[in-house]
Amino acid sequence: MTPKQLISQFARLRALKEPRTFLELAGYPHYENVCSNLLSFYLDPEGEHGMDDLLLRALMKCIDIQWETMIHKAQVNREVYTNQGGKLDLLIVTDDFVIGVETKIWALLHNDLDDYGTLISDSAIKTNAKTGNCFRVVLTVRDLSNDERRKAEKSGFRVVRFSELIGAVRPLLGHYTKRADFKHVSYFSDFMQTLENLAGASKSELTQFLAAHAREIEDLNRVYWEYRKQLIPEVRRCVAETPLSQINAEELKYSIYQSTTLVTHVRCTGAHREQAISVDLGTSSECWRFVLFSRGFSTYKFTDASNVAWNEMSPKLLDRLGVDFHRLEGGNLSAEFPPDLKPSDMAQMLADVVLKVREGLGYESDASAI
């Protein structure tokens, strides 16, 4: 496959990716408390979601609870305290059985499961449930380590992956959604998709493509980075063809940082002469970017003196630089330009920026006169 075909196929497959879920957009897909709150709501057969015992039935199937009739009532408790001060995420109590659930997204299984088991057993005794109808579950996104599995099994806990729970939900869904609240069906589907995304339950076409073409992708990536590393040195060479080449090293210094940023140090004048305005030109796959700030001219260090110089000079520099530049949250000045501009174009832009900075610092406006 040629690089052009590879990129074309990759672009097509990316377009087929599942859109992010609402929970992912909100930034809470991996929060155990958020997950447990939603589980608690949908596990309640009397919940306003209108899906009755759908999720509870799916969980029961995962832990081999055989039950023919619909479950109309269950008390679903969140963060139930144990005698030892622990907190079990979910405790589901019906007239006939009790299920204790500890949920895990990415966190390690460090909990005192024996303590949790005692809580679950005591709850079963209080409800007069049969000994065989007391169930302990660790519900997890990831595969537990061997040590974690042994710990769970030793305390009588069944380990259930969220992918298993989702798999148990799917064949049941059609029987429940007809009488359910449409809004909550949508929320529930989003929640299930979020869990599936976290678990990486299915190999997508994109994943298969990446696996099949790993060598070609690595080769293309290597060539790309070689190209990226050439851009900044090329800008530096092109600077020699601009008016900046006529400014002496006592007033202007250059360095290249990590192959992707050209640093131009413009020495301040007067009381701030030991400080400099640093004009950093960086390159990325998304843009060329200028970032301006202040630090020592010879030391390259940030000091109280450089902060004073920057606070004094940056407002008038921003006025001179024009509409392309804006102030960042931390006070630095920045501007971005398309990534397809040539190094020679960026060298000319750099010269323009540096000359404007020099004018703002009080140097002569005509570099040729220097």
How many angstroms separate the CA atoms of 368 and 238, rounded? Answer: 17
In a domain, 212, yes or no: no
Q: Hey, what long-range contacts does 15-20 have (CB within 8 A, 24 or more apart)?
A: 16/204, 16/205, 16/206, 17/204, 17/206, 18/193, 18/197, 18/204
Residue 222: burial class (beta carbons within 10 Å; 0-12, 13-18, 19+): exposed
User: What's the whole-number average pLDDT of the chain?
Assistant: 84
In a domain, 139, yes or no: yes
Q: For position 129, what pLDDT does the model report? A: 66
Classify each residue of 115-131 as buried b or exposed e, where b means 16 or more C-beta atoms within 10 Å of its C-beta: ebbbbbbebbeeeebee
Pairing of strands 326-327, 261-267: unpaired
The CA radius of gyration of the chain, in Å to the nearest whole number, is 31
Same domain, 240 and 175: no
Q: For position 243, what pLDDT does the model report? A: 93
Inter-axis angle of helices 304-321 and 343-361, nearest 10: 110
Same domain, 190 and 47: yes
In a domain, 206, yes or no: no
Lowest mean pLDDT among 30-44, 124-138, 195-209: 195-209
Average pLDDT over residues 176-204: 73
Q: Hey, what long-range contacts does 33-39 have (CB within 8 A, 24 or more apart)?
A: 35/103, 35/105, 35/195, 36/78, 36/79, 36/89, 36/90, 36/103, 37/78, 38/191, 39/90, 39/101, 39/103, 39/139
The two structure tokens encoding residue 56: 């509870």
Lowest mean pLDDT among 14-23, 52-61, 255-264: 14-23
Same domain, 154 and 23: yes
Torsions phi, psi for 244 (to 5 deg): -65, -25
Domain termination site, one of 149, 184, 199: 199
Give the residue among 118, 201, 106 at the shortest CA–CA distance from 148.
106
Confidence of residue 12 (pLDDT cuts 50, 70, 90): low
Same domain, 77 and 36: yes
Classify each residue of 261-280 as buried b or exposed e, where b means 16 or more C-beta atoms within 10 Å of its C-beta: bbbbbbbbeeebeebbbbbb
The 10s digit of each residue's pLDDT in 211-255 is 778 888 888 888 888 888 899 999 999 999 999 999 988 899 999
In a domain, 185, yes or no: yes
What sign for the dihedral angle of Cα 330, 332, 335, 336?
negative
Same domain, 55 and 154: yes
The 10s digit of each residue's pLDDT in 284-337 is 888 999 999 999 888 888 888 888 889 888 898 998 998 899 999 888 999 999
In a domain, 22, yes or no: yes
Domain that holds residue 76: 18-199
Same domain, 95 and 186: yes
Number of H helices, E strands in the chain: 12, 11
In a domain, 121, yes or no: yes
Q: Which residues pair with 334 in a beta bridge?
A: 291, 326
Q: For position 201, what pLDDT does the model report? A: 44
Task: Please check whether residue 358 is in contact with residue 370, taking contact to mean a CB–CB distance below 8 angstroms.
Answer: no
In a domain, 308, yes or no: yes
Same domain, 272 and 157: no
Same domain, 121 and 266: no
Confidence of residue 368 (pLDDT cuts 50, 70, 90): very low
Same domain, 292 and 169: no
In a domain, 119, yes or no: yes
Angle 74-80-81 (CA atoms, 0-180°, nearest 5)? 155
Domain termination site, one of 152, 175, 199: 199
Confidence of residue 23 (pLDDT cuts 50, 70, 90): low
* CATH number, residue 124: 3.40.1350
Same domain, 361 and 253: yes
- C-alpha distances (whole Å) from 212 to each of 11, 121, 224 are 16, 50, 20
Same domain, 194 and 239: no
Angle 335-249-347 (CA atoms, 0-180°, nearest 5)? 35
The 10s digit of each residue's pLDDT in 65-95 is 877 778 888 888 998 898 888 889 999 998 8
Report how many domains make up the chain. Answer: 2
Lowest mean pLDDT among 32-46, 175-189, 266-280: 175-189
Same domain, 194 and 298: no
Give the residue among 173, 140, 138, 178 at the shortest CA–CA distance from 30.
140
Res. 195: pLDDT tops 50: yes
pTM: 0.50
